[in-house]
Every structure is written in structure tokens, then in C-alpha cells.
Chain A
Amino acid sequence: MIRTQAVSRAYGDALVVDNVTLDIPAGGVTSIIGPNGAGKSTLLSMVSRLLDMSAGTVTVDGLDVTRTPSDVLARRLSILRQDNHVSARITVRDLVAFGRYPHSKGRLTAQDRHQIDQAIAYLDLGALANRFLDELSGGQRQRAFVAMVLAQDTDYVLLDEPLNNLDMKHAMGMMKLMRQAASELGKTVVLVLHDINFASWYSDYIVAMKHGKVAAQGAGPEMIRPEVLSEIYEMDIKVHEIGGQLISVYYG
């Protein structure tokens, strides 16, 4: 379980994350939704020790993320942020192989290679495996980085807007993959998502943030309701049931 206790982050006078106490259950897919500037990515960065908190503590399976050695945490939790600029020339396969670094420190074993091949196959990157990252489109590069995180094979997988740059087919493929990782491999997947319909369709648990605080949280059906969503996004949102799934409509 990921547990944040009274976590805050301030930039100057502005509180971006404001005293957040939150338990993210182990297992399943949890989505964090909310308007721009709600503090979703900042919270995720603090949970994954990329950013120091101004106050509060975060524990993952009881390990304090700011005190646990980074390489111990790297075998338990992985994080992928949105912008991944790489100036070196790296092939897709080499990038995915970096996912095994926490386990093998650069010396790949046969099992590492197996995991790498599997991750490449999961993300449909077989044909691109030997291409250099700077020769790929934004969406292909995004998938390559997700493959790296999958190869890392951690219990907790944190992805910050993983659907950015992806077309419909690959966005859906990505979400199915995360579902599969949660239900078949028992992983805990935490996503920051902007598309509430993707959140509704694929997550077990939804956390909504607004103004740096947790505005609401609960299982999918409790959260995808017009009154909850309208309050969070400050706009008129209708919810329809289509094929047994709750779909929000907010156009027009």
C-alpha cells in the first residue's frame, strides 16, 4: 500500500499539494484525476521520491521513500513522467534494457533478456526494437519508455499521463496492458489521467484532486457521477450508461 501522510509541497507561497493524507490500496488500477494545476503530478513525483516534500511522509509497503536507499525502492516501485528528453543516441532495445538496471546493474542475465523481450512484445515495439529513439514519433517513444518501466518489473507502477501522444488504438492498448498487469501479475498501477472515460472504464479506484487537496475518492461507480464530476471540474458533466460502463459526456 502507498500511504501519504500530511504531504505538502510549496513553491514560494503557493501550496501546490496541500496536506494530503491518502491511502492507495495495493493491487488494482488507481487513477488520479482532476483539473490542471490540481497537484496530481506533483503528488506522484513526491510518492516516487523524484521531488522532496515540504512536509509530510510517504511510505510504500512501510518503506519511507525519502530514507530508503534509491536502489531498494527501484526494485519495488517505478515511475514514468511525461517528458523524457534523452540527448544520447539510444536504441529502443537498449532503453528497455535499462529497466533491468535495478536488478542487474548493467550486466544482463538470460532472465533479464527474457523480461526485455517480453516488455518489447507487450508494447508492440518488435519492429522498432533496433531503431534509435530520436527516429521515433512521440507516441512510439512514449511506448518505449513504458516498456522500460515494465521491464523494471516492480510491484508498484506509477505513470504520469501515460496516454499523452498516443492514438486511440495505442491508448486503449496501454490501458488494457495496465489492467492485465494488475489482474494477472498482481501489480499496483497508479495513473494520472486526463480522460475521465479512460479512468472510468479501466480503473478500480479513482482519486480526484482539486486545488492541491483530495476532493473525492472511491470506487469507479461512486466517482463517475454527474454531481461529483461537475463539482471537481466546475463544468456541466452528464453521465450515461453505455454497454454496462459509465461514460461522461461534457461536450458542447
Chain B
Amino acid sequence: MPERSTSPGLSPRQVLITLAALAAVSITAFMVIGAKGSWGFVLPFRGTKVWGIAMVGGAIAVATVLFQTITANRILTPAIMGYDALFRLVRTVQIFFLGGLSYATLNAQLQFAFETVLMVGLSTLLFRWLFNRAARDLYLLVLVGIVFGVLFRSLAGLMQRLINPNDYAVLQDVMFAGFNTIDKSLLTVSTLAILGSGVWVWRLLPALDVLNLGRDNAINLGVAYRSVVSQVLIIIAILVSVSTALVGPVTFFGLLVSNLAYMLIRSHKHALILPAAVLLAIIALIGGQVILERVFGFDSALAIIIEFVGGVVFIAMLLKGNRK
């Protein structure tokens, strides 16, 4: 684990520099190690992959930290709360009603834009309703999130059983993506969406720091609480849509990088935590990919390992009772 090399005594600035260096090393290693044949082919080919992985990792990291800030906890992530199950339901419903052929021939970018807008609408509605009712009780929130996740998955599952086998094949193709099969036609539009969200987050940074103090103190300090939380929910929906569309669902990865970032940075400032989480995501995904694929010769097992470690961390944190 490259993260271990930074001791807790470092200042946030030093941590960020170290992480940036590690990320650069990971990316270089990924581009260079084990390359056979013409560099003119290898570099652009691997470059696209690195680009996609970095975008997805960054999106998940930022979405997780934002979600944890507005829910004032460090255990819940958008994935655990059923965000990507909702996204998959949206996809299944489309194929269910349009049929596989017309779905597959739709303009990918237009369709992606449509899905993202739908996702933003649905999740904002759902989570605003949820926050007004259950936000004060963490365990209730976890429970409701899991129940909704199951509901979305079951609805999607039901529809998947009702459609004909050809449509199902199309669906399978768009559902079970992985870090190795990033959909390249979406990369440009995803990058724009992610960078746009980044600028948006940048403008919200001071208010986000205040949200750390909880709803009541944030209102006391003059943060337009409802407006800021709604904006953050929209940003999260965009980021989750993008990452799920590109690589499919990853449940515990966000939890892992957000908590590592809190641990290493030891500050409440989002201007420090968010870059750290993004860099950690890049190191974990790209560095991990290098080690597994190039050094040990395993293929596509990284997601499983990350999910396993993240899952263990999740259970450990739940058992610890989120006392902090």
C-alpha cells in the first residue's frame, strides 16, 4: 500500500505533495512498464485508460466526501445509499421500454445526458425527502438507504427478467463494466461534466467547511442550508452518474479513499481533503492496477480487492460505532 509511507506527522501540505508524487509515479509506471511494440500506439492507448480511471476515481472520491459532509458522518457513501442502483434502474427502464436495438443505436452522448438529468432529478427528490425526515439518525439513514437500494435492484431485476434475451444481452453489455472496459465514446462528455462539477464544488468550498459543524450551526452562521445541500446533491448525482456510466458500480471504494484522506490530512478544510481523496483514488486505482496487472500478472482483479478491503473497513467502522 503506497499510502502507508506518509506518516501522520506530516502537515496537510506535505501530505498533498507526497500523494501527488505517488500519483505521478503510478501513472508513469502504468504508461511505461511492460510496454511492447510501438510507443506511438502504447502511449495513447494507455493514456486513454489512465484518463478514464483518473476521472472515475476522482468523481467517486469527491462524491463520497461531499455526501459524508452533508450527512455529517463518515460511514455512508452514495453507493451504500443506493445511488448507483438507481442509475442502473434508470438504464434498465429505458431498455425495457425502448427495446435493446433502439437503445443500442441511440446517440451515446445524448442518452448519457438524458440519464444524468433524470438521475439528478430523481436522486435530488429522494434524498431531500429523506434528509428532512431521517437525517438526524444515522442508523435509520443506513437502513433506509439499503432498503431503497434493494428496491431499485429488485425493480431492475424484475424488468431484466421480463425483457427478451436479445435486449438482455444489450443490457448486460452496458451494466457490467469494469475499470478495464471504460466506454471511450463517453470520455469527453464525462470529463466536461466532472470538470464542471469541480468548478461548482470550488465555489461552494467555504460553505462546505461550515457544513461540517452540522445543520443548526451552519444555519446560525448564515449558510443558505437548503440551497447548498440541494446543490451538493445535484453535484453528487452528476458525479455518480458519470462514474457508473463509465465503469459500473463500485460500492466501498469511495469509503476507503475518503477515510484515508481524513486520516492523512487531519483537517476539516475541503480545499485539502478533496484533492487528497482524489489523489488517493488515482493512486489506489492506477497504482493498484500496475502492481496487479504488470507485476503479479493478475487480470481485472483490482476491483474485487478494493471492494474487499473497503468492505472490511466499512464493517470495522460500523462496529466502532462512528464515535467521532
Contacts and interface: CB of A to CB of B under 8 A. Distances in A.
B18 interface: no
A49 B221 contact: no
Contacts of A148: 217
B163 to A, nearest CB: 43
Given A50-B219, A84-B217, A98-B213, A89 B224 contact: no
Interface in A63-79: 69-75, 78-79
B214 A84 contact: yes
Interface stretch (B23-31, B152-160, B260-268, B292-300): B260-268
Contact of B220 (A74, A88, A90): A74
B207 to A, nearest CB: 8
> Which of A79, A80, A98, A148 gathers most chain B CB within 10 Å?
A98
Contacts of A169: none
Interface in A100-153: 101-102, 105-106, 134, 145, 148-149, 152
Contacts of B324: 87, 89, 134
A195 B73 CA distance: 34
Contacts of A30: none
Interface of B: 68-69, 72-74, 205-206, 209-210, 212-217, 219-225, 262, 266-268, 322, 324
Nearest to A77: B220
B213 A70 contact: no
> Which of A74, A87, A90 gathers most chain B CB within 10 Å?
A87
B120 to A, nearest CB: 24
14 contacts: A70-B219, A72-B222, A74-B222, A78-B220, A79-B216, A79-B220, A85-B72, A86-B212, A86-B214, A88-B69, A89-B267, A90-B268, A102-B221, A106-B209
B224 A88 contact: no
Given A50-B216, A79-B216, A71 B222 contact: yes
Nearest to B209: A106
Contacts of B73: 87
A78 B218 CA distance: 11
A86 B262 CA distance: 14
Nearest to A158: B220
A245 to B, nearest CB: 33
Nearest 9 A-B pairs (CB), nearest first?
A: A74-B222, A106-B206, A71-B222, A88-B268, A88-B212, A102-B222, A101-B221, A90-B268, A79-B220
Contacts of B215: 50
A67 to B, nearest CB: 13
> Which of A49, A80, A89 gathers most chain B CB within 10 Å?
A89
B212 A87 contact: yes
B220 A105 contact: no
